[in-house]
A and B are shown apart, each in its own frame.
Chain A
């Protein structure tokens, strides 16, 4: 595969794979339940030993690799479990935005009558900064996993729609599409069977960027206190919790911050690599 020869794809992909493994293997990585706390182990510095009480009331000796927060929770366990939330939200929001964007883009590019109105609506959504749409929607619906995912996906839909529409407009002029039209193939089958498969490469590139953006946005929402409820361990929530004591205990902010930055970096590097190998035309543009 040509794609795997790109160092960007290798490095970004490997880092992402490692994070995915961390997310899946969270319970076996020396973590404790991320919601457990112990008043005796409050505000420990990274590497300090302390104890933690399980739900059964049993007190265990535990080394706090990344220190503990002001409730006496293990920051390491919370950061590791936070990987699950970040990747879940990032990938789900990207898939959701992709699904809606593909349908709307195909329709706008293929059905002439709907092109104008649909794209005006997309222009309108794009005129509102993404973070404001997400914040407002989460405030209205009250934050939970599904509402946060939907709220992050909505402002990303227009970008995908624009991309798919532009691709559809050029692909529909190809001889094989004209042949399909001449044979009386229904519009739906032309869009899904003849046009969509030829948009896969640029869509894949767009999907990685959307995923990176979704992971960032979820962390921002949590950090601002409007995202997922504070008892769910997300990187943004750990940082929001830690910011109060930042001057004395910066580790609460830095460890989740490093994970977040590395994750987004990995996805972006993967996206750049995919762009350069799959879509040389796009690579020249940026």
Chain B
């Protein structure tokens, strides 16, 4: 098992390296002076000169890349020209709302989608199954910001149940924290629920066709037990996989959702940085999100060993 974990860890290195090269070359692929682009539209000649020296633009491109990578590896993502602080600190400041939103969304999505998927597979072809599949196509198609405004209009404006926008830190109390976060999390979880429910349904359906299910039923086990302990347990690996892949959709959704609900997280930071053409911040945020995505999927790969005892590496 340790050799498997080690092998997966090693396989992650080339992916991260390619990500680093891509993020690094973002600026180099653009026509124009990277130092001037990096400095933003408001910079003066002296500032541009300082950045030029910092980037090592007079050195060969390979040297530039290794210098940059060495700094990034130390956690130095440069300085934001718009916010005037270190990008790493900026990401740290904005992490809490995004982490809270993402955690609540994943929790919500998993708790809702897996029972739905199992129920649809159990009554395959029935009205519930069809309804869920219909909902899932809708879930993929309704854009997250359209859904966000629909929910704000209905829940906050018409019914007046929840605040329209904004964010409260957890330290300001659990209730206001959840009140501000629940609507964005519901918005964001819809597409995720559609995705996980579909895969849960397909995997459980496949498991239900196996001989051991017939045996379990023949033994007279309660249907719930058969569904959960036998069918769902054997569908765990594909479900875990799709949760991991869905993180990419989640990150995209965070960018949009935080903008609509005025949540001061990393997604909002990304949009602000792009609007201000603040390239050190853009680079930093992309790098951060991508590394998180790769690492989460690494953890999920490793979790297969625990989810499925048949897997022995």
Contacts and interface: CB of A to CB of B under 8 A. Distances in A.
Contacts of A138: 274
B70 interface: no
Given A223-B256, A257-B149, A264-B141, A127 B30 contact: no
Nearest to A254: B149
Nearest to B252: A131
Contacts of A3: none
Contacts of A261: 141-143, 146
B116 to A, nearest CB: 16
B153 A250 contact: yes
Given A264-B141, A272-B137, A127 B255 contact: no
Given A136-B26, A139-B277, A226-B271, A268 B19 contact: no
A130 B252 contact: yes
Contacts of A79: none
Interface of B: 14-19, 21-23, 26-27, 29-30, 37, 137-138, 140-146, 149-150, 152-153, 157, 164, 198-199, 202, 248-249, 251-252, 255-256, 259-260, 270-271, 274-275, 277, 279, 282, 285-286, 289-290, 293-294
A128 B19 CA distance: 7
A121 B18 CA distance: 6
Contacts of A177: none
A246 B289 contact: no
A253 B260 CA distance: 12
Given A135-B274, A219-B143, A130 B18 contact: no
Interface residues of A, dominant DSSP? helix
26 contacts: A123-B15, A125-B22, A127-B293, A128-B23, A129-B249, A129-B290, A129-B293, A130-B248, A130-B252, A131-B256, A132-B286, A212-B140, A216-B143, A220-B143, A220-B145, A224-B274, A225-B271, A226-B275, A250-B149, A250-B153, A253-B149, A257-B146, A258-B146, A260-B143, A261-B146, A286-B199
Most buried by B among A132, A137, A212, A285: A132
Contacts of A136: 26, 274, 282, 286
A229 B260 CA distance: 20
Interface residues of A, number: 46
Interface of A: 120-121, 123-133, 135-141, 212, 216, 219-220, 223-226, 239, 243, 246-247, 250, 253-254, 257-258, 260-261, 264-265, 268-269, 272, 285-286
Given A127-B15, A140-B37, A224 B286 contact: no
B267 to A, nearest CB: 10
A137 B260 CA distance: 22
Contacts of B248: 126, 129-130
Contacts of B26: 136-137, 140
Nearest to B29: A140
Most buried by A among B26, B143, B259, B277: B143
A263 B50 CA distance: 49
A132 B270 contact: yes
Contacts, number: 142
A269 B149 contact: no
A242 to B, nearest CB: 9
Contacts of A257: 143, 145-146, 149-150
B275 A225 contact: yes
Contacts of A285: 202
Given A226-B271, A254-B149, A257-B143, A265 B293 contact: no
A224 B256 contact: yes
Given A265-B137, A268-B137, A120 B275 contact: no
Contact of A124 (B15, B27, B285): B15
Nearest to B253: A131
A239 B145 CA distance: 9
B18 to A, nearest CB: 3
Nearest to A220: B256
Given A133-B286, A257-B150, A264-B143, 15 more contacts: A120-B15, A127-B294, A128-B290, A220-B143, A223-B256, A223-B259, A224-B271, A225-B271, A246-B152, A258-B146, A260-B143, A261-B143, A264-B140, A265-B141, A268-B140
